[in-house]
Chain A
């Protein structure tokens, strides 16, 4: 399903120009992070939003109850009221990054530049220890038994 999801909004990047620096020719395709992946007018999936006036530039404090539900974490009301101002401070602190002028900078998506040889040939190999990665309980013949959860999944 094509997504109409909203990602966590941080700070917006405006006017990034595409910069396709040279990629190795004759190698077919590679996994080197050699190309800057943004395009004009397109926001990458991690982007920053400038905050409205009234607050130091930062990001919207997350809705903890909603986040906890999405992450399947149980939080009590006390924890929510305790954590909200703390998290707000943290996100505000990160918001200081929006003072930096990143108009010409592509987002750093990965820590390392060296990612050679991260593709493989389409040749099968059986993993011999499959019983060690399957649960011993919660089985029904060869199947794994899971709780019946309807309507929450995708695809």
Chain B
């Protein structure tokens, strides 16, 4: 339902008007002013909605409408005069066996402070040695993001003090990153407007992670297992305009890293972290508004919600004439209260005193190396979507099937075994994903293979079993596997399509239900369904439904 927010300057009152609710103005008589039905997406002055001419005159006389905003409760506030500028920074932990600069394992979830050594603990006299796999995965990701991959790049020291940073500096890449000037294409789901968007990638660079801090009342606790784990930081251009687009961009980055095997992209485990930069500016204005950074979002929907909240907060301040209060700062998203909250405001920008890391040489890639990685790169989600679209599937189907690497691999398997595209898509989208969701499993954990599903679909297509029987067989196949054909035979579920056999059952049904026959002949033609149902039941669900429909109709007509 549309909500109309009206800012009334002269009485300093802000009110939200629901459809049809009366508004009382302070100081006015007791008679409330009635606002008529509000249309969605309308930015109409409430004055025009007042029913009577005299009421409109009173309104115009006393109040100045400063701003009308029509808000959709489901989507972000659609500001008629503000544009939102959003950029994302995504940190992905790379899928390497060891840390970036030492041989400690980079495995997640171990006992705290067990995967450490003098190098990652920053002990004096130690030297970093670069992990080859870090370069390979970063190069691959740079190519996947359509970036210019620098044939020569270097590491720099980013210096600051913090308890989770053993060396007092983070080894990162400052002015010459491994990848720059890329872009990705994001496909919005139909319920969010649909269509493709191209989002620019400013840069992607290699760096190392810091330890993990947890805060107690009077102190903090550090686990250095994570210190030195390799990260790829991907910075987008400020090309996104809504929270939804930003969430979809983050989802696409996750899809890419998972399809390529570059990272787990697990936001809850911390192997993928997103920071958002949001600012607003009036439409038509060239310069950007003040940028606010938001951290601490654990899911894609949290990203969308945090951005929507922050946009509301900023436009609210600007509308109230308090635009100066929007400061260049970092805010934390609070999932409980659904608000962004300020951290202590920093005075000025941080000075990291970057200088080139003297303990590491430049990273030089030759053309053969880059080409080899490009050739060996797995299929990208966007390429997968194109392939599926070309098969004739609808966009919603394409988005579901190409969302997850395991599901799309399974779908490819089913097609390779010869199944019909649309049937396979429907089975996976519907019954299979439904089962996996209910059982909280993923496709790798069930016994059903692509070939099995193809066989099942073939049995339905050639009439051996009905679709309904197929659905009944699915859980067994999921849990135990095996051949669908053998299962059908062992359970005796082969569909009855023999006319004489069906007629026998129908005759029996008709003769044992004389009352319903009488009612049917008397005019209750709807009772045909009763007969069909009874026949199906009598055959143990095995009768060919279409044939039953036709034969029952024939028999009943013959009786008339």
Contacts and interface: CB of A to CB of B under 8 A. Distances in A.
A102 interface: no
Which bucket holds chain B's interface residue count? 35 or more
A96 interface: no
Contact of A153 (B103, B165, B365): B165
A133 interface: yes
Contacts of A55: none
Given A120-B129, A125-B103, A45 B361 contact: no
B32 interface: no
A155 interface: yes
Contacts of A2: 89, 202-203, 235
Interface string A50-74: 0000000000000000000010100
A123 B367 CA distance: 26
Interface in A83-141: 109-111, 115, 118-127, 130, 133-134, 140-141
A4 B174 CA distance: 10
A26 B220 CA distance: 49
Nearest to B365: A29
Nearest to A116: B361
Contacts of B97: 122-124
A40 interface: no
Interface string B197-237: 00000110000011001111011111110000000000100
Given A118-B360, A123-B103, A154-B162, A134 B353 contact: no
A5 B350 contact: yes
A20 to B, nearest CB: 7
A149 B366 CA distance: 44
Contacts of A111: 358
A148 B214 CA distance: 9
A125 B369 CA distance: 27
Contacts of B160: 152-154
Given A5-B350, A118-B360, A147-B163, A25 B367 contact: yes
B221 A43 contact: no
B222 A30 contact: no
B418 interface: no
A44 B96 contact: no
A145 interface: yes
Given A5-B350, A142-B113, A149 B221 contact: no
A149 B117 CA distance: 25
A91 to B, nearest CB: 15
B161 interface: yes
Given A6-B351, A109-B356, A148-B220, A119 B151 contact: no
Given A37-B362, A110-B361, A142-B113, A148 B219 contact: yes
Interface string B99-112: 00001110000011
A44 to B, nearest CB: 6
A124 B105 CA distance: 5
B391 interface: no
Contacts of B214: 143
A31 to B, nearest CB: 3
A72 B362 CA distance: 30
Given A29-B135, A133-B116, A109 B175 contact: no
Given A3-B174, A5-B350, A155-B91, A119 B130 contact: yes
A8 B353 CA distance: 6
Contacts of A39: 176
B104 A124 contact: yes
Interface residues of A, number: 64
B267 to A, nearest CB: 15
A72 B161 contact: yes
Nearest to A110: B358
Given A109-B358, A120-B132, A1 B293 contact: yes
Interface in B101-155: 103-105, 111-118, 121, 123, 129-133, 135, 151-154
Nearest to A124: B105
Interface string B16-47: 00000000000000000000000000000000
Given A1-B275, A45-B174, A154 B350 contact: yes
B283 interface: no
Given A120-B129, A120-B130, A143-B221, A33 B353 contact: no
Contacts of A35: 151-152, 362, 364
A151 B223 contact: no
A33 B153 CA distance: 10
Interface string A12-49: 00000000100111111111111101010011111000
B151 A127 contact: no
B156 interface: yes
Interface stretch (B306-314, B341-349, B497-505, B531-539): B341-349
Contact of B354 (A3, A34, A37): A3
Q: Which 5 A-B pairs have the closest CB atoms?
A: A31-B361, A127-B117, A153-B162, A143-B221, A146-B163
Interface of A: 1-8, 20, 23-35, 37, 39, 42-46, 70, 72, 109-111, 115, 118-127, 130, 133-134, 140-155
Interface of B: 89, 91, 96-98, 103-105, 111-118, 121, 123, 129-133, 135, 151-154, 156, 158-165, 170, 174-176, 202-203, 209-210, 213-216, 218-224, 235, 273, 275, 293, 330, 343-344, 346, 349-356, 358, 360-369
5 contacts: A7-B353, A24-B364, A147-B219, A153-B164, A155-B210
Given A39-B176, A134-B113, A146-B213, 15 more contacts: A2-B202, A28-B369, A32-B361, A37-B152, A43-B175, A70-B353, A110-B356, A119-B132, A120-B130, A124-B105, A146-B163, A148-B220, A150-B344, A152-B160, A155-B273
